[in-house]
Structure 1
Amino acid sequence: MTTTSATAAATAESGSSGLQAVLLDMDGTLVDTEDFWWQAESSLLAGYGHRLDESDRARVVGGPMTRVVDYLIDSTGVPLTAAELSLMISQRFTELLADGVPLMPGAERLLTELAAHGVPTALVSASHRHDIDLVLRTLGADRFAFTVAGDEVARTKPHPDPYLIAAARLGAEPSRCVVIEDSPTGILAAEAAGCQVIAVPSVAHIEAVPGRTVLESLEQVDLALLRALVPPRV
């Protein structure tokens, strides 16, 4: 887990009864990297004679890498070990990131608004540290109090651990944190942690259910909405 010097002191106010923190996923939520992952995965499998389709894409979106690799090996029978395929996908993904990565619509404005109002914010991703650090060159590490990587926790998404860890480090109650996610895997993790959830689907369809806000774009997310999801206790 990495903490940036500029925002390391950002913590939830003790006793605050409203919104205490915003926890954000990375791939497909803040940055448009889901296509990069898909290109890496599908092009590698194509080299072994396996053509992946949109049903496969829906199964691999949101990681973590261990789950993605296990699925790809089981479904295609490609003659590679999990470690070999994981390394190959990561290397191909890194190559695709060489020229930077586009931000999702609304991401720049939202992060700027959160920073301007001093809202404690953390990046919580199933991606590995190396990949997160590459993306942060575009996204900006100083926008977050810290970042949590999938290879830095014992159990990553869909387990609640990453979000529980992030809330604890910010001194926040999980129920007073809003998580913004794009994939079913991440949403399961956030809801299991007891956080409020805004889903902005990128690839896989997300159902709107009680306690979950589903929107079409980050352009619909602002501080007023985030605060409305965690009203002060009476």
Structure 2
Amino acid sequence: MDGTLVDTEPYWMAAETPLVESYGGTWTHEQALGLVGLGLHDSARILQDAGVRMQEDAIVDHLTSQVMTQLRDLGNPFRPGARELLESLREAGIKTGLVTMSLRRMAETVVAQIPFEAFDVIIAGDDAIRPKPFPDPYLQACEALGVQPSEVVAIEDSPNGLRSAIASGATSLGVPLMVSLTGVGAHALWPTLEGRTAADLTRLHADHRPKESS
């Protein structure tokens, strides 16, 4: 979701910086990039190391509330082509799942602002047995959708997200935003989703799905 469907990374950074500074610390752009794709509790521990004297759950709740406020005020900042691709998938009758390390209440805020029925299932950070880069979130989504990982294309913008998708057995597509995905192991890297349709994902899947044994 964050960085793939919607470009909320600036929203997260805008919430992190004043939080760290309120405890007398400093928070650089490079440090913020280090949180991209991490589970929220992993991020909270890094923020504690930067001087934030709050419990992990309190940090997660605070940041989530700040980002949700920006989403409600400013709307969904869709990445180029993401909404259109999602519409194409729905029109083609292809099942879709949202797999995010953000809390469910934030994921539901984003989904509620999409003007069509966008997803069959949501697996959020507070649903995941283990966070990305473990495969659990994608495996849980596959189970909820009633599909095998080999039938799935996972789209990610972060190295941790890609590692999770790859480990699950899904065909993995990287669409980088703030950090490089070169060398992570994605089946394909696209610079953008703009102009892409369900047919493009179908071809990608056909090219990279495991071959059946003869």
Report if aligned partners of 2:175, 2:189 keep a CA contact under 8 Å in 1: yes
Partner of 1:142: 117
SS for the counterpart of 2:94 is coil
Alignment counterpart, residue 205 of structure 1, candidates 160, 164, 180: 180
In structure 2, the residue matched to 1:20 is none
SS in 1 for 2:153: strand
Cα distance between partner residues in 1 of 2:186 and 2:77: 30
Partner of 1:58: 33
CA deviations on 1:78-108 (whole Å, 9 max, x unpaired) are: 3222223222212222222222222111012
* Preserved CA contact (<8 Å) 2:149 2:168: yes
Task: Choose from 12, 18, 24 the match for 1:49.
Answer: 24
**Aligned partner of 1:98: which letter?**
R
Which residue in 1 is equivalent to 2:196?
221
Of 52, 65, 68, the residue aligned with 1:94 is 68
Question: Structure 1 residues 108 and 78 mapped into 2: Cα distance closer, same or farther (>3 Å)?
Answer: closer
Q: Equivalences for 1:14-25 in 2 at 5 Å?
A: none
Alpha-carbon spacing, 1:61–1:141, altered in 2? closer, same or farther (3 Å): farther
* SS in structure 2 of the partner of residue 123 of structure 1: strand
User: Structure 2 CA distance, aligned partners of 1:219 and 1:81?
Assistant: 40
Structure-2 separation of matches of 1:72 and 1:141: 36
Unpaired stretches in structure 1, ≥5 consecutive residues: 1-25
Contact 1:40 1:92 in 2 (8 A): yes
Q: Take 1:141 and 1:186, find their aligned partners in 2: how far apart are those partners?
A: 25
Higher relative contact order (CA closer than 8 Å, sequence separation 6+): 1
SS in 2 for 1:197: strand
Aligned partners of 2:92, 2:177: CA distance in 1, in Å?
A: 27
Q: How many residues align?
A: 208
Unaligned ranges ≥5, structure 2: none
Letter in 1 for 2:172: V
User: Aligned to 1:79, which of 48, 53, 61?
Assistant: 53
Of 128, 153, 177, which aligns to 2:152?
A: 177
Residues 103 and 139 in structure 1, CA contact (< 8 A), matched pair in contact too: no
Query: SS at 1:63's partner residue?
Result: coil
Quote the Cα distance in structure 1 between the aligned partners of 2:195 and 2:129.
34
Q: Is the 8 A contact 1:63 1:127 kept in 2?
A: no
Q: Alpha carbon RMSD of aligned pairs, Å? A: 1.9
The alignment's TM-score, normalised by the length of structure 1, stands at 0.82
| SS at structure 2 position matched to 1:142 | coil
